[in-house]
Amino acid sequence: MNTENAVAAATQFDIDQIRQDFPILHQEVNCRPLIYLDNAATTQKPQSVIDALTHYYEKDNANIHRGIHTLAERATAAFEETRQAIHRFINSNEPEEIVFTKGTTDGINLVASTFGRMNVQEGDEIIISAMEHHSNIVPWQMLCEEKGALLKVIPVNDRGEIILEEYKKLLSDKTKLVSIVYVSNSLGTINPVEEIIDLAHEHGASVLIDGAQSTAYLDINVQALNCDFYVFSGHKIFGPTGVGVLYGKRRHLEKMPPYQGGGEMIKSVSFEKTTYNDIPYKFEAGTPNIADVVALKAAIEYINQLGKSAMQAHEESLLTYAHERLADVPGIRFIGTAERKMNVVSFVFDDIFHFDIGQMLDARGIAVRTGHHCTEPLMNRFGLEGTIRASFAIYNTKEEIDQLVEGLNRIVTMMRR
């Protein structure tokens, strides 16, 4: 975003009103006003999402697709309206390319268990990066062990950036799949996914993008990206937990076998043969998480109402301010200083254990995340057990960052006496 656009967007961003939309923020934790800086783990929910969830259970609760009574028809309509909203939100080619899952992890496992088992054979290769979440490591390890395939890892530099030249060396005609995170949950690094996708396709490989951390703020256009699969979670975009999205190109989804068996994913069943349903229902066995899918639409509408340009401008201003203010804390060492990054500041103090700092900040009502952030191999790359991670969202303020800095200054002074 250029400077003029950022300034214009910021002037349209009413932070006081936005904070009013999130009821959880208006409480005290340990006798202090809550400062929630753990948004990379999960985002808080606006009242409109909570209302949508309550409305479904109060007015429309019924099973979907098969019922002909009024409640079933209303529930079905609301469920499918969310699919349409996501189709528009990420610009898939058609709504049928949108599959509802339990979350990002479930989406990756679905692809590994279906597309992966179909297309990866002994001697083939899968490429991931050194900054992946465990959810984008373990399913591919399991597949490689089952198939006798090889898992290759793109290294990262000291700034926490993928080394593209090394990635190019890893690619070959044996590469069947590249699975890469768009934005690192532990460092905030924004990866050059467009180039990663293009290079993989040149070698005939398919690409999955883990969009868990990118979908709320970055403009996502899966057709322009030309990725084969894209996965994200509702709870990372101000929606409910327990619901996620898998986008897949139709040509892949139609060839992939069902992930689970049961109701809804069938057209007909006999003891001799079962005929499977069309996409996306082929991958949505059983009664889905209807209420949370319905409420996810409210989260998307909330983001659309605010506008991603304004959200990005606010988030960028918080990130810049946080780096500037935190740099003055004695002994702080930043982990992850990529040129392109978003809404995450990860840091350590070499003489104070990260867990202790997290607990002492919590005593001041400040919620941050400590540990390896489900990226243990990445922490090993930096020789760390874990970091302190502050991650920001649309309802955070510079005043909250000031409180974080004040808390850290007090803690390090006390611990070094």
Per-residue pLDDT reduced to its tens digit, 185-225: 999 999 999 999 999 999 999 999 999 999 999 999 999 99
Reply yes or no on whether the pLDDT at 9 is more than 50: no
Domain boundaries, the chain: 3-39+307-415, 50-304
Burial of 169 (0-12, 13-18, 19+ CB in 10 A): exposed
Residues 238-256: tens digit of each pLDDT: 999 999 999 999 999 999 9
- Greatest distance between any 2 Cα atoms in the chain: 76
Q: Which fold has domain 3-39+307-415?
A: Aspartate Aminotransferase, domain 1 (3.90.1150)
Residue 12: its pLDDT value, please? 63
**50-304: CATH architecture:** 3-Layer(aba) Sandwich (3.40)
Q: Which residues are catalytic?
A: 374
Mean pLDDT of the chain: 95
Per-residue pLDDT, 67: 81
Same-fold call for 3-39+307-415 versus 50-304: no
Please determine, for residue 130, whether its predicted confidence score (pLDDT) is greater than 50.
yes
Is residue 86 very low, low, confident or very high in pLDDT (cuts 50, 70, 90)? very high
Confidence band, pLDDT 50/70/90 cuts, at residue 7: very low
State the pLDDT at residue 263: 87
The CA distances from residue 312 to 39, 46, 158, 300, 406, in Å, are 15, 18, 26, 15, 26
- Is the confidence at residue 161, as pLDDT, over 80? yes
Residue 413, token pair as written in the block: 């002074």
pLDDT at 281: 95
- Flag whether pLDDT at 361 surpasses 70: yes
What is the percent of the chain with per-residue pLDDT over 90, rounded to a whole number? 92
